[in-house]
A and B are shown apart, each in its own frame.
Chain A
Amino acid sequence: DVQMTQSPSNLAASPGESVSINCKASKSISKYLAWYQQKPGKANKLLIYSGSTLQSGTPSRFSGSGSGTDFTLTIRNLEPEDFGLYYCQQHNEYPRTFGGGTKLELK
Chain B
Amino acid sequence: EVQLVESGGGLVQPGRSMKLSCAASGFTFSNYGMAWVRQAPTKGLEWVATISYDGSSTYYRDSVKGRFTISRDNAKSTLYLQMNSLRSEDTATYYCTRGGITTFDYWGQGVMVTVSS
A associates with B = yes
Residues on A close to B: CB < 8 A? Answer: 32, 34, 36, 38, 43-46, 49, 55, 87, 89, 91, 94-101
User: Which of A45, A49, A95, A96 has the largest number of chain B CB atoms within 10 A?
Assistant: A96
Residues on B close to A: CB < 8 A? Answer: 4, 44-47, 50, 59, 61-62, 95, 100, 102-109
Across chains A and B, the number of contacting residue pairs, with CB separation under 8 Å, is 49
Residue of A nearest to B108 (CB): A43
Is the Cβ of B44 less than 8 Å from the Cβ of A99? yes
Is the Cβ of B103 less than 8 Å from the Cβ of A95? no
Residues in A whose Cβ lies below 8 Å from that of B44? 87, 98-101
Whether A98 touches B46, Cβ cut-off 8 Å, given contacts A43-B108, A44-B95, is: yes
**CB < 8 Å neighbour of A96 from B47, B105, B109:** B47
Docked Cα-Cα span, A36 to B45, in Å, equals 10
**CB < 8 Å neighbour of B59 from A44, A87, A94, A97:** A94
Is the Cβ of A91 less than 8 Å from the Cβ of B105? no
